[in-house]
């Protein structure tokens, strides 16, 4: 893999001779995502937004879609809040917005240098050079009725993005966090030896954790329709709240990404370096074991309001060896795996979404890990029939109430899905699941209601109910994907939630007020019921600046 990294670095420095204008990406958990869903449904057949299931999403493509919405005949369908959000989106993606020098100018810049526009601490916007630098801050006070200690989260950092000569784009994101989370989060960290969404961490005052989050990427165009990205970041693939393919729940990863987008066609190939499960000695620095994954996703609009896709991925590990057969971006990964002896963990999947009547979106995913038609017909719950299903809908302006949006989703994941006989090849990274945070052997139901009655106010109610089968009596019944599936308890008899099913509920009420651009005062209230445990009520209040909010949705 070191040879590949060296080649990529060299290619990045040579690429300015070949490239055209390139775009950085909207940040993970961006506030634009709400508007993005609404515009995609209202526009129904936008050539960029129909591929917005790949997140983070291109700033350049996003701005182009917003401009099309402003110029189209659907302008009378936009609410006043939509128009406000669109104007602020132009401000937050100023390098691609059509504007003159005074369009986004601040009335009261600081020292004539800082906040010359309302969205950026430092902005340099010249013909051949663009740079935006911003602080990151999140301070949350947390009360948990299961704990008598003062809980909090304290995050500080900075984010920068840049375009150079209209050819090279890059972004960098760095934060440090001290977090004392609710008790159930601490229990999860202790069980998996990982802070959800983060990498290496240290103990902080007995019940807390201290960790960095560092991400960065370089972008360029290899050809007219081909975008190239090399960096260390996250990826979410799907139109739902969850993803069965890959989500942003786990830590960031090193990757090389190719994306071809031409008209109604989009194809992505991504090579990733992951960290295998590990136990770290606190008294000694160690080199974490590595493994690799490759993802291909091809999607097509046929007709324009319907997007269908084909997904495949493979996870593998070799000691001191990378399987170069998987680098071919146009070869089916399962075929390549068969050629090397079929030792790895391969997946195929299908996804689709349909925008209907400019008010409704239906979406879904099907993931197939392994199956045998013989045992499917027998209906005896053979352990090796491993697949997952997602179905959902989004409905905007519910009952004619402007900016009241509703989402329903269900996810069913059979036992042992994502696991493998060789634990190095399970679908995990940094002791965390790559896809669904609840792993497998679950049935999950999600309902989300969101209201933005005024430009600066947002309210959301979210309920997640799930049933999961638990491993009992020291036996593996297919919930924990970190275990080898050869440690299974029996050969068959596996069904959703078997053999012992726990019922769980997680309800969240969230309210936010945007004081200034990307600076929020917000409050959360959670009710959590997990299995046979008592009801857990916890809440938080605080501020958040230029970063996504922390979710406790597992």
Which pairs from 84-88 meet CB under 8 Å and 24+ separation?
84/455, 85/32, 85/34, 85/35, 85/452, 85/455, 86/35, 88/119, 88/517
Distance of alpha carbon 426 from alpha carbon 485, whole angstroms = 10
Give the highest mean pLDDT range of 270-279, 331-340, 540-549: 540-549
Q: Which of 10-14, 29-33, 203-207 has the lowest mean pLDDT?
A: 10-14
- The residue-averaged pLDDT of 57-65 equals 93
Q: Looking up tokens 């409905």, which residue turns up?
A: 395
Strands 306-316 and 345-356: antiparallel
* Owning domain of residue 289: 19-545
In three-state secondary structure terms, 486 is: helix
Task: Round to the nearest angstrom and report the end-to-end CA distance of the chain.
Answer: 34
Distance of alpha carbon 269 from alpha carbon 329, whole angstroms = 6
- pLDDT interval class at 320 (50, 70, 90): low
Helix H or strand E encompassing 502 = strand 500-516
Residue 452: inside a domain? yes
CATH (domain of 155): 2.40.160.130
Query: Quick one: three-class SS letters along 370-424?
Result: ECCHHHHHHCCCCCCCEEEEEEEEEECCHHHCCCEEEEEEEEEECCCCCCCCCHH
Q: Which of 67-71, 100-104, 221-225, 400-404 has the lowest mean pLDDT?
A: 100-104
Could you report the per-residue pLDDT of 276-291, keeping only the tens digit for each? 988 776 556 778 889 9
Contact 119, 518 (CB under 8 A): yes
Could you report the per-residue pLDDT of 362-395, keeping only the tens digit for each? 999 999 998 777 777 777 888 889 999 999 999 9
- pLDDT interval class at 101 (50, 70, 90): low
Distance of alpha carbon 26 from alpha carbon 380, whole angstroms = 46
Distance of alpha carbon 485 from alpha carbon 174, whole angstroms = 37
Predicted local distance difference test score (pLDDT) of residue 375: 75
- For 271-299, b/e burial (b = at least 16 CB within 10 A) is bbbbbbbeeeeeeeeeeeebbbbbbbbeb
The percentage of residues in the chain with a pLDDT greater than 70, rounded to a whole number, is 94
Q: Which of 87-101, 371-385, 500-514 has the lowest mean pLDDT?
A: 371-385
More confident residue, 47 or 451: 451
Predicted local distance difference test score (pLDDT) of residue 472: 78
- The residue-averaged pLDDT of 31-37 equals 95
Is pLDDT above 50 for 342?
yes
Residue 554: inside a domain? no
Predicted local distance difference test score (pLDDT) of residue 196: 94
Among 522, 516, 517, 529, CA closest to 544: 522
Is pLDDT above 80 for 409?
yes
Is pLDDT above 70 for 482?
yes
Predicted local distance difference test score (pLDDT) of residue 531: 83
- pLDDT interval class at 103 (50, 70, 90): confident
Name beta bridge partners: 513. 457, 521
Distance of CA 249 to CAs 60, 181, 236, 276, 514, Å?
25, 16, 9, 16, 25
Predicted local distance difference test score (pLDDT) of residue 331: 67
Distance of CA 162 to CAs 21, 109, 223, 269, Å?
12, 21, 20, 24
Query: Quick one: three-class SS letters along 127-141?
Result: CCEEEEEEEEEEEEE
Distance of alpha carbon 363 from alpha carbon 392, whole angstroms = 5
Split into its structural domains, the chain has a count of 1
- The residue-averaged pLDDT of 296-322 equals 89
Let me know the angle formed at the C-alpha of 326 by 320 and 328, rounded to the nearest 5 degrees: 135
More confident residue, 45 or 363: 363
Distance of alpha carbon 288 from alpha carbon 283, whole angstroms = 15
Predicted local distance difference test score (pLDDT) of residue 278: 83
Distance of alpha carbon 139 from alpha carbon 155, whole angstroms = 6
Contact 340, 368 (CB under 8 A): no
Q: Cβ atoms within 10 A of the Cβ of 70, count? A: 14
Is pLDDT above 90 for 488?
no
- The residue-averaged pLDDT of 440-469 equals 97
Distance of CA 261 to CAs 6, 35, 312, Å?
27, 22, 18
Question: Encoding tokens for residue 311?
Answer: 């997904």
Predicted local distance difference test score (pLDDT) of residue 55: 93
In three-state secondary structure terms, 29 is: coil
Predicted local distance difference test score (pLDDT) of residue 72: 73
Residue 553: inside a domain? no
Residue 87 makes CB contacts below 8 A (sequence gap 6+) with none
Predicted local distance difference test score (pLDDT) of residue 9: 46
Predicted local distance difference test score (pLDDT) of residue 386: 92
Burial class (CB in 10 A: 0-12, 13-18, 19+), 487: middle
Let me know the angle formed at the C-alpha of 410 by 409 and 412, rounded to the nearest 5 degrees: 155
Residue 391 makes CB contacts below 8 A (sequence gap 6+) with 363, 364, 409, 410
pTM for the predicted model, two decimal places? 0.92
Could you report the per-residue pLDDT of 104-136, keeping only the tens digit for each? 888 888 888 899 999 999 999 888 899 999 999
Among 314, 345, 316, CA closest to 332: 314
Is pLDDT above 90 for 18?
no
Residue 206 makes CB contacts below 8 A (sequence gap 6+) with none
Residue 8: inside a domain? no
Residue 430: inside a domain? yes
Residue 351: inside a domain? yes
Alpha helix (H) residue ranges in 44-143:
59-71, 80-92
Residue 110 makes CB contacts below 8 A (sequence gap 6+) with none
Residue 370: inside a domain? yes
Residue 7: inside a domain? no
Contact 332, 310 (CB under 8 A): no
What rounded mean pLDDT belongs to the chain?
89
């Amino acid at each position: 893999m070191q040879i590949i990294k060296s080649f990529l670095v060299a290619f990045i420095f040579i690429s300015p001779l070949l490239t055209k204008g390139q775009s950085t990406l909207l940040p993970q958990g961006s506030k634009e995502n709400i508007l993005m869903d609404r515009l995609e449904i209202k526009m129904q057949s936008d050539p960029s937004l129909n591929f917005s299931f790949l997140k983070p999403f291109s700033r350049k493509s996003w701005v182009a879609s917003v401009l099309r919405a402003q110029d189209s005949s659907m302008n009378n369908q936009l609410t006043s809040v939509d128009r406000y959000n669109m104007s602020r989106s132009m401000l937050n993606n100023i390098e691609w917005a059509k504007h003159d020098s005074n369009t986004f100018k601040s009335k009261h810049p600081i020292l004539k240098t800082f906040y010359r526009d309302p969205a950026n601490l430092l902005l340099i916007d010249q013909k051949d050079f663009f740079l935006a630098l911003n602080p990151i801050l999140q301070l949350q006070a947390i009360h948990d009725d299961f704990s008598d200690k003062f809980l909090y989260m304290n995050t500080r950092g900075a984010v920068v993005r840049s375009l150079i000569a209209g050819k090279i784009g890059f972004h960098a994101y760095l934060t440090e966090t001290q977090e004392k989370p609710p008790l159930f989060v601490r229990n999860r960290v202790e069980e998996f030896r990982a802070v959800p969404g983060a990498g290496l961490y240290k103990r902080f005052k007995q019940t807390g954790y201290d960790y960095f989050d560092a991400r960065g990427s370089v972008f360029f165009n290899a050809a007219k329709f081909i975008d190239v990205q090399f960096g260390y970041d996250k990826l979410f693939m799907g139109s739902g709240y969850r993803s069965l393919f890959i989500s942003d729940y786990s830590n960031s990863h090193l990757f090389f990404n190719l994306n071809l987008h031409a008209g109604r066609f989009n194809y992505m190939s991504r090579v990733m370096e992951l960290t295998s499960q590990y136990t770290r000695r606190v008294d000694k620095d160690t080199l974490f074991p590595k493994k690799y994954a490759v993802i291909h996703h091809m999607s097509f609009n046929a007709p324009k309001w319907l997007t269908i896709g084909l997904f495949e991925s493979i996870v593998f590990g070799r000691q001191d060896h990378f399987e170069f057969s998987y680098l071919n971006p146009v070869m089916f990964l399962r075929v390549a795996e068969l050629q090397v002896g079929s030792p790895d963990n391969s997946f195929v999947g299908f996804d689709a979404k349909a925008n209907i009547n400019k008010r409704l979106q239906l979406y879904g995913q099907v993931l197939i890990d392994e199956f045998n038609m013989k045992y499917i017909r027998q209906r005896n719950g053979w352990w090796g029939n491993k697949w997952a299903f997602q179905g959902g809908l989004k409905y905007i302006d519910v009952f004619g109430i402007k900016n009241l949006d509703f989402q329903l989703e269900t996810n069913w994941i059979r036992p042992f899905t994502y696991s493998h006989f060789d634990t190095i090849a399970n679908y995990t990274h940094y002791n965390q699941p790559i896809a669904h945070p609840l792993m497998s052997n679950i049935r999950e139901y999600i309902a989300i209601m969101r209201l933005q009655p005024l430009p600066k106010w947002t309210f959301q109610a979210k309920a997640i109910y799930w049933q999961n089968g638990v491993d009992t009596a020291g036996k593996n019944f297919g919930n924990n994907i970190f275990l080898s599936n050869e440690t299974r308890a029996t050969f068959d008899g596996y069904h959703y939630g078997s053999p012992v099913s726990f019922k769980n509920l997680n309800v969240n009420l969230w309210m936010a007020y945007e004081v200034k651009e990307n600076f929020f005062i917000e409050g959360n209230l959670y009710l959590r019921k997990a299995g046979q445990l008592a009801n857990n009520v916890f809440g938080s209040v605080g501020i958040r600046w230029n970063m996504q909010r922390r979710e406790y949705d597992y």
